[in-house]
Structure 1
Amino acid sequence: MRIALLEDEHEQAQNVQSILSERGHHCDSFPTGQAFLSAVLHRSYELLILDWQIPDMTGLDVLRTVRAQLNWPIPVVFLTQRDSESDIVAALDAGADDYLAKPPRAAELGARINALARRSNPDAEKEILNYGPFEINTQQRTISLHGEELTLTDKDFDLTLFLFQNQGRLLTREMLLERVWGLARDINTRTVDTHMSRLRRRLGLNPENGFRIKTIYQRGYRLEAMKGPDAVPDSIHTDQAANE
């Protein structure tokens, strides 16, 4: 899991990063609210950890900005020395998902992060994902439309899966390069535009099939459902035979 940490004390940041790294997570640390927000709003993070007292603004202000500007419910954990009931209530009311006091106990921090990860992405370990007329088999790496398997490259599959798993979320070109291609953010983003244009045609992403890829000017792309209940995951199941 990719995690962004807001922490202005260097030793505290190193401690949290070490705990998370030992559990297989990647954690970037930022000492100010502005640096943190700049990264979070333009990169691909899956969970945020916030300190309350930082030099340029409060963690609560950062949280409110994140909730106002990100169009998906990214999990947020407060990790702070402030542990009064009123502070905890204020953070949770502002949109935090969990609240821990410093210094964190390694096992507890890891367990809470894992619990939030499971709740935020319950489909991560599912084999079959159905989105309206689209069926994605994550084990066989195939995608079908109205029961007919589509001819796609491996990269087409990775990009399509990432789009559907982040339906409704603005995905910047840099974010897509990082998460789908594994490339640095300073690589030419033309690669993303070319693949996205081709994917629109190959997948039949149009109102008739319930989805469209919307281009967000100078930012990136967003997969949008075009109609009601048929455009969201309507049945997600695991191959039972594999478990027998």
Structure 2
Amino acid sequence: MRIALLEDEQEQADRIAELLEKDGKQCDCFPTGQAFLSAVTHKSYDLLILDWQIPDIDGIEVLRQVRLNLDWPIPVLFVTQRDSEQDIIQALDAGADDYLAKPLRPGELLARVRALLRRVHPEVEKEELVFGPFVIDTTRRTIHCHGELIELTDKDFDLTLFLFQNQGRLLTREMLLERVWGVSSDINTRTVDTHMSRLRRRLGIKPENGYRIKTIYQRGYRLEAVDQEAESA
């Protein structure tokens, strides 16, 4: 899981990042709102942690921009010295999912991070995931459609699992290369296009099976659930 942290105090940022990384997370730290917003709109993150008082853009405005511009409900945790009831209400009303006042207690921070990640990715701890006719066994690394086993390479399985775990979310080619292939976007992104085309055919991802892979021009792909009644109307 990758986390983006908005924190302008370097010592505090280093402390939080170290805690998260010891817990098996990746953490990218940003000292300004502009740098943070640029990153979260171009990279793939699973959770955002925001401080309130930042030199260029305060955390509340950053949160509003996140909710306005991201196409999926990424969980957001506020971590700040502002701890009045009115501050908490303002942050939650602006779209925060949880609020934690400084000074931080390391165990509580990690517990709240884990809880938010479980809420948005409940399938992470499941061995078998069901999406309409598609059944994904994460232990055996198999996929069935209407009960029929679909033969896939390891990389195609990883790509399929990532797509279904993030359905409805725009996934850029760069994100897919990073999260599925584990490489930077320096390599030819035709790799992603080739695999995506093959998945459409092999898995039968089409409206009749309840899903489609939509190509977003010059950006990437989005797996969408299809309302079959609306399609046939």
Q: Scaled by the length of structure 1, what TM-score is found? A: 0.91
Once the two structures are superposed, residues 197-220 of structure 1 have per-residue CA deviations (whole angstroms, 9 ceiling, x without a partner) of: 111111111111111100111111
| Correspondence for 2:193 | 193
2:72 matched to 1:72?
yes
8 A contact 2:8–2:30 mirrored in 1: yes
CA distance in 2, matches of 1:187, 1:51: 35
**Please, what is the CA RMSD of the aligned residues?**
1.3
The amino acid across from 2:149 in the alignment is E
Deviation >4 Å, runs of 4+: none
CA distance in 2, matches of 1:169, 1:20: 24
| Correspondence for 1:117 | 117
| Correspondence for 1:48 | 48
| Correspondence for 1:6 | 6
CA distance in 2, matches of 1:107, 1:185: 35
- Paired residue secondary structure (2:125): coil
CA distance in 1, matches of 2:58, 2:185: 28
Matches within 5 A, 1:1-244: 1-227=1-227
CA distance in 1, matches of 2:52, 2:220: 31
| Paired positions, count | 229
8 A contact 2:208–2:228 mirrored in 1: no
Cα distance change, pair 228–32 in 1 and its aligned pair in 2 (3 A)? farther
The amino acid across from 1:135 in the alignment is V
8 A contact 2:49–2:78 mirrored in 1: yes
8 A contact 2:207–2:228 mirrored in 1: no
The amino acid across from 1:24 in the alignment is G
The amino acid across from 1:36 in the alignment is F
Larger CA deviation: 161-170 vs 101-110: 101-110
Deviation at residue 225 of structure 1 after TM alignment = 0.9
| Correspondence for 1:237 | none
The amino acid across from 1:172 in the alignment is T
The amino acid across from 2:143 in the alignment is I
CA distance in 1, matches of 2:137, 2:18: 35
CA distance in 2, matches of 1:219, 1:66: 18
Q: Scaled by the length of structure 2, what TM-score is found? A: 0.95
Cα distance change, pair 9–129 in 1 and its aligned pair in 2 (3 A)? same
CA distance in 2, matches of 1:128, 1:190: 31
Larger CA deviation: 88-97 vs 180-189: 180-189
Deviation at residue 185 of structure 1 after TM alignment = 2.8
CA distance in 1, matches of 2:140, 2:15: 39
Deviation at residue 74 of structure 1 after TM alignment = 1.0
Deviation at residue 188 of structure 1 after TM alignment = 2.0
8 A contact 2:78–2:99 mirrored in 1: yes
Cα distance change, pair 4–125 in 1 and its aligned pair in 2 (3 A)? same
Deviation at residue 228 of structure 1 after TM alignment = 6.1
- Paired residue secondary structure (1:95): coil
- Paired residue secondary structure (1:123): helix
The amino acid across from 1:168 in the alignment is G
CA distance in 2, matches of 1:91, 1:38: 21
**Any gaps of 5 or more consecutive residues in structure 2?**
none
CA distance in 1, matches of 2:62, 2:113: 19
Once the two structures are superposed, residues 80-117 of structure 1 have per-residue CA deviations (whole angstroms, 9 ceiling, x without a partner) of: 11111111100001110111112211111111111111
Deviation at residue 59 of structure 1 after TM alignment = 0.6
Deviation at residue 12 of structure 1 after TM alignment = 1.2
